[in-house]
Structure formats: C-alpha cells, structure tokens
C-alpha cells in the first residue's frame, strides 16, 4: 500500500509488541511507513515521561478518513486459526498458542469515521509522531445508514473515563435486557453494583465470559464474582470451543457497544481505549443474532452447582482477586 503512494501511519503499543522483532518495525520505516511507539518500555526513548502502566489497548484502523474498523481484533497470528468444531468443553485454563479465538470487529462508514480519525491523530500528536496535516486526514463525509454512531474514546489523561460512565449509565438505565460478551472481567464496585441492581429490578442480565483464556489470573478473578452475580439473578455463561476476546454490549434491543474495552480496572483506569456506541434496532438485531450464536456455544453456570466447585479453584479465585486492580 505504501509503495502505491498511500501514506500509512502506525501506532504500536510498546508492551503489547514486546515479542515483535525490532527488525519488523525497521522494515516498515524503511518502506516509508510512519511508525510511532506508544509509551516506550525503554525510559530513554520516552518522550512524555516513563508511563509504563499507561498502555494503548485500542484496535483501530481508519482508511481515507471515511471508513473505520474498531473492536477487539489485534494484528496477530493467533487469529489465523479456525474456530473449533469440537462440542466438548475445553480446559478452563490457558490453552496452547494454536487455539482459535472468538472476537468482534465492525466496519463503520460515514461521519463517525472522521471522529475515529481525530482520535488517532490526537494520540499520534501526544506520542510525538511526525506532524500530520489534519486537512489531509479529516475530510467531509456524507451520512450513510440509519444508525446513530457515537465514538467513545478514553485515556488516563482524561478527568474521568467516558467509556466507563457510558457503560455504567446504560446498564443502570436498562429496562428489559443487558447482554454482555466480555473477554476479561474484573469489575470495580460501582460497575458490579450496576449489574446486580439491574438483575434485582427484573432486567434480564446475561453475561458470556470465557471458558478458556490466555490469562489465568484474570480468568479466576472474574470467576470470583460469579456467586454474587448468580445470587442476584444474573445469568452467567462460559464460552467454549475458542478463546473469547470480544468486548460487546447490547441493551434493550436498541443500544449496542463494540470496542476494545474490557470490564476491568485496567481498561477504565490505565489504558487508552476506544469503543463505538450504536443506537439503532437494525444493528442491534445483528448483535442479538451474534449473541445468540455465542450463547449456543456456551455452558450455563448452574447457581446450585457453583458453590460445590473444588477448593483448589476457590483458592485460585481468592488469590487472583487480590490483583484485580492491575490485571
């Protein structure tokens, strides 16, 4: 693409790409691609202080300022595997690198793409990237489709997380359904209370969480909340057959959210994240269909059986819970 005269600009997270060879990025630069390292691990390379705990967790691609792709998908070889066809439940702990992943990304055409572009440019400038002429990247775009799309970015530099407030508000105001698909679940007290309160006032709250994972600590930290959720009437399911990496929400059949944000402390306090909030019944129907497919590939957690899990699992949950804030 760069060779065809299309300028390519790439932001990569320093911690997330620790295992990526330096030669890979050198090759990109040699080809004319502009490359920026987000908050370098090497303090000598840091341009705005050594912010090792502030990571760029966004997964965003913007093309010509007119089309944006956003969600949970990274550029990684782990996505090259095909979904498992096995009907048996896999291990409840991390699996081999060859395991298939289940993720969600969406394409957005229209004016919202401009707002995603602005979010990219803001991060680019903050990280000291070479100057980009905004008029070349922020272009007028005609309205497309019937859905209302809001771009919801967040960064630790903000006085509060807009993504967090948006999700908690949506859950707190739900009247019929709250359907969540979450890769990493380690809620703070306010978010947990919003979920419990919704279920107790009669809202159908369902959560699809991983049945296997690439992070054992957060897997067990999330499970440490199951008893309280189940007791309040929240229906909890664990996805089998793939490593769940989606971060989506569907509320009352009209409001949807897709993005990079997990329901954990790290996403809300320590990471740069970005979500798309979509208001529209047509898109919500597609989200419902996707949720139903995941539900069919998930195992329900039985409130009667859950207390009888092994002592070893309970000890793992207690230990993992201690680290929730940092996971």
Among 326, 325, 320, 277, which residue's Cα sits nearest to residue 93? 320
Helix, strand or coil, per DSSP, at residue 314? helix
What is d(CA 293, CA 297) in angstroms, rounded to the nearest whole number? Answer: 7
Phi, psi of 256 (to 5 degrees): -130, 155
Q: Is 47 a catalytic residue?
A: no
Catalytic choice (26, 47, 64, 231): 64
Catalytic choice (245, 264, 270, 272): 245
Catalytic choice (118, 188, 252, 314): 252
76 contacts 112 by C-beta, under 8 angstroms: no
Q: Is 118 a catalytic residue?
A: no
Q: Is 59 a catalytic residue?
A: yes
Q: Is 64 a catalytic residue?
A: yes
Number of Cβ atoms within 10 Å of the Cβ of 43: 10
Q: Is 135 a catalytic residue?
A: no
Catalytic choice (92, 247, 270, 316): 247
Catalytic choice (13, 56, 59, 92): 59
Helix, strand or coil, per DSSP, at residue 270? helix
> Which class for 290: exposed (0-12), middle (13-18), buried (19 or more C-beta within 10 A)?
middle
Give CA angle at 218 (89, 292), nearest 5°.
45
Q: Is 302 a catalytic residue?
A: no
Catalytic choice (56, 57, 92, 316): 57
Which of the residues are catalytic?
57, 59, 64, 245, 247, 252
């Amino acid at each position: 693409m760069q060779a065809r005269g299309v300028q390519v600009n790439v932001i990569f997270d320093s911690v997330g790409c620790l295992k990526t060879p330096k030669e890979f990025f050198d090759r990109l630069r040699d080809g004319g691609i502009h490359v920026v390292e987000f908050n370098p691990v090497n303090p000598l390379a840091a341009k705005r202080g050594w912010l090792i705990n502030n990571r760029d967790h966004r997964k965003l691609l913007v093309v010509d300022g007119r089309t944006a792709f956003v969600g949970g998908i990274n550029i990684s070889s782990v996505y090259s595997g095909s979904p498992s066809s096995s009907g048996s439940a896999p291990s409840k702990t991390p699996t081999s690198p060859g395991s298939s992943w289940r993720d969600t990304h969406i394409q957005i055409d229209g004016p919202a793409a401009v707002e995603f572009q602005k979010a990219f440019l803001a991060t680019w400038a903050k990280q000291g990237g070479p100057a980009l002429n905004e008029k070349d990247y922020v272009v007028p775009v005609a309205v497309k489709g019937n859905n209302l799309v809001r771009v919801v970015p967040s960064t630790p530099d903000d006085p509060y997380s807009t993504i967090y407030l948006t999700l908690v508000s949506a859950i707190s105001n739900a009247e019929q359904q709250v359907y969540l698909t979450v890769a990493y679940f380690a809620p703070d007290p306010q978010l947990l209370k919003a979920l419990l309160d919704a279920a107790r006032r009669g809202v159908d709250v369902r959560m699809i969480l991983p049945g296997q994972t690439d992070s054992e600590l957060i897997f067990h930290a999330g499970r440490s909340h199951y008893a309280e959720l189940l007791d309040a009437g929240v229906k909890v399911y664990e996805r089998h057959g793939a490593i769940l990496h989606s971060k989506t929400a569907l509320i009352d059949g009209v409001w949807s959210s897709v993005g990079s944000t997990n329901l954990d402390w790290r996403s809300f306090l320590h990471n740069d994240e970005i979500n798309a909030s979509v208001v529209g019944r047509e898109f919500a129907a597609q989200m419902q269909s996707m949720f139903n497919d995941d539900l069919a590939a998930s195992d329900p957690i039985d409130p009667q059986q859950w207390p009888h899990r092994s002592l070893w699992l309970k000890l793992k949950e207690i230990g993992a819970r201690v680290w929730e804030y940092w996971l």
